[in-house]
Amino acid sequence: MSASSWHYVEPYAGDVAAALAAVRQREFERLFVNGTNGNGLQPAGQSFTSVDDLDNLWEEETFGSEGTHTIIDVWKVIKAEAYDDDHTVRPLSDEESIEIFGTAEPTQEDFEQAQERYVTGQPGSEELWGMPRWSAWCRPLKDVNGAVIVFWGRSGD
């Protein structure tokens, strides 16, 4: 399997770690509990029943380089000024947000427009996906329907 990109827009109550945990749990249930994952990601001889089990398989390197190609592949929230590393989620700084979205208070529409600029290869748009593989970024978004946060990242080799 090769590298993949993904993003999620989630309700946000001011706690990045709690929002991350909620979406990871929901994705785990969608993929593994409800049986929609048909690509054999369960490592031979290993069983898992929770997101924590998968995290432990990563730590033991039993999971190899496959991952789930979803937000489940990241679980450590780091500070905005920290260095992106494997399995980390880093909130963008205001400066990075301005560089990518043109504002320190982006909306979901701003994120979608940045994504469209990236997909169409517009100059400067590569900043949106500048994180290394096996990591993610996040940013709270202003939304008319309540507070949300966007997580976006890359999985795979």
Element (H, E) at 128: none
pLDDT of residue 39: 47
The closest alpha carbon to 157, from 55, 4, 14, belongs to: 4
Mean pLDDT of all residues in 5-31:
91
Tell me the whole-structure pTM to 2 decimals: 0.86
* DSSP symbol at 84: P
Q: What burial letters (b/e) apply to 48-65, b meaning 16+ CB within 10 Å? A: beebeebbebbeeeebee
pLDDT of residue 62: 53
β-partners of residue 141 are 148
β-partners of residue 153 are 6, 136
Average pLDDT, the chain: 84
Give the residue carrying structure tokens 């496959």.
66
**Confidence at 29, pLDDT banded by 50, 70, 90:** confident
pLDDT(99) > 80:
yes
**Confidence at 33, pLDDT banded by 50, 70, 90:** confident
pLDDT of residue 38: 42
